[in-house]
Amino acid sequence: MKVINKIEEIKKITEDSKKNNKTVGLVPTMGCLHAGHASLIKKSVAENDLSVVSVFVNPIQFGPNEDYDKYPRTLDEDIKLCSELGADYIFAPSPQEMYPNLEKFSDLTMVAPPYKFTDMLCGKSRIGHFDGVCTVVTKLINITSPDRAYFGMKDIQQLFIIKKMVKDLNFSVEIVPCPLVREETGLALSSRNKYLTPEAKTNALTISKALFAIKSGVERGITDTKLLFDTAMTVLAPSIELDYLEFVRAEDFEPVESITEPTIAAIAAKVGNVRLIDNIIIGE
């Protein structure tokens, strides 16, 4: 397994592979890899001749008051995990390599997903976040020309927006959704879990518990999302600051009031100053 920092170098490697009829899998990440990422990497290794894991903390998807500077960077551990899992390359460019004129942000060409899908859920409090995500994912796809790109279902809004971007802009890549991975406690795996103190972690567990309460409510026949919301609120630790808990149709992300078809219950909440997201599919 080799670490590549330069765009032209990884571009040549993946282009040569394609010329030799080898399939390429891309696993875009911001590093600090955990078992959730490992499941994506394993799938890419199983399904492609060559797998590239990108490790890049993308500055343009963080707001001015977000955690870009302190986002955990653990490249040595990431390299170890990727080589154990059989990935072929880590692409770990510098911000300068990806955005040579980052200081002149207004000069940067951005890929902007529809406002309808960014002015909701995470996009409401993270202005410009999905423009930053779509721009970097477009660049990573153009750089590595993958046949398949792997994304986790924990970032369910990101996955929906990327799938839409790929369809609307006619990208030649298959987006492969991979199931959300949880700890045995139920907590959804996230690089940001690293920030949690033991006490914060106990509180954080109530986020997935609230979603499980919604699921069991639906299984008992409750369909009214207001009632399901109230059920979840009785479970969520009082110290947790809720950003949103919303119910959207799985197919098209339209908000729903009653669960009559597959629906995503998506939550974002702050535990201390750590913002966590989670979701569950109900009504299947």
Where in the sequence numbering do the catalytic residues fall? 37
Identity of the residue numbered 62: F
Interface with ligand PAF includes 58 (CB under 6 A)? yes
Interface with ligand PAF includes 10 (CB under 6 A)? no
Q: Find the Cα–Cα–Cα–Cα dihedral 161, 167, 173, 174, rounded to 10°.
A: 70
Q: Residue 164: name the closest of 218, 115, 94 by CA.
A: 115
Least distance (Å) from ligand PAF to the CB of residue 101? 19
Task: Give the 3-state secondary structure of residue 187.
Answer: coil
Interface with ligand PAF includes 25 (CB under 6 A)? no
Closer of 136 and 175 to ligand PAF (Cβ): 136
User: How many CA atoms, within 13 angstroms, populate the side-chain half-sphere of residue 31?
Assistant: 22
Cα 249 from chain centroid (whole Å): 19
Site residue total, ligand PAF (CB under 6 A): 10
Closer of 157 and 208 to ligand PAF (Cβ): 157
* DSSP character string of 193-231: GGG--HHHHHHHHHHHHHHHHHHHHHHTT--BHHHHHHH
Least distance (Å) from ligand PAF to the CB of residue 257? 30
Q: Is 138 left (phi over 0), alpha (psi -120 to 50) or beta?
A: alpha
Rounded-to-integer distance, Cα 96 and Cα 117, Å: 29
Task: Give the 3-state secondary structure of residue 96.
Answer: helix
Q: Which of residues 129-188 bind ligand PAF (CB under 6 A)?
A: 133, 136-137, 155, 158
Interface with ligand PAF includes 61 (CB under 6 A)? yes
Closer of 218 and 275 to ligand PAF (Cβ): 275
The tokens of 111 are what?
A: 């890929």
Least distance (Å) from ligand PAF to the CB of residue 275? 14
Q: Which of 26-34, 66-74, 115-123, 141-149 is the region at the interface with ligand PAF (rule: CB under 6 A)?
A: 26-34
Closer of 99 and 217 to ligand PAF (Cβ): 99
Least distance (Å) from ligand PAF to the CB of residue 48? 18
Structural contact between residues 180 and 221, judged by C-beta atoms closer than 8 angstroms: no
Choose which of 28, 93, 123, 283 interacts with ligand PAF (CB under 6 A): 28
Least distance (Å) from ligand PAF to the CB of residue 86? 20
The tokens of 91 are what?
A: 């692409």
Q: Which of 24-32, 94-102, 167-175, 198-206 is the region at the interface with ligand PAF (rule: CB under 6 A)?
A: 24-32
Interface with ligand PAF includes 17 (CB under 6 A)? no
Rounded-to-integer distance, Cα 150 and Cα 173, Å: 10
**Interface ranges with ligand PAF (CB under 6 A):** 28-30, 58, 61, 133, 136-137, 155, 158
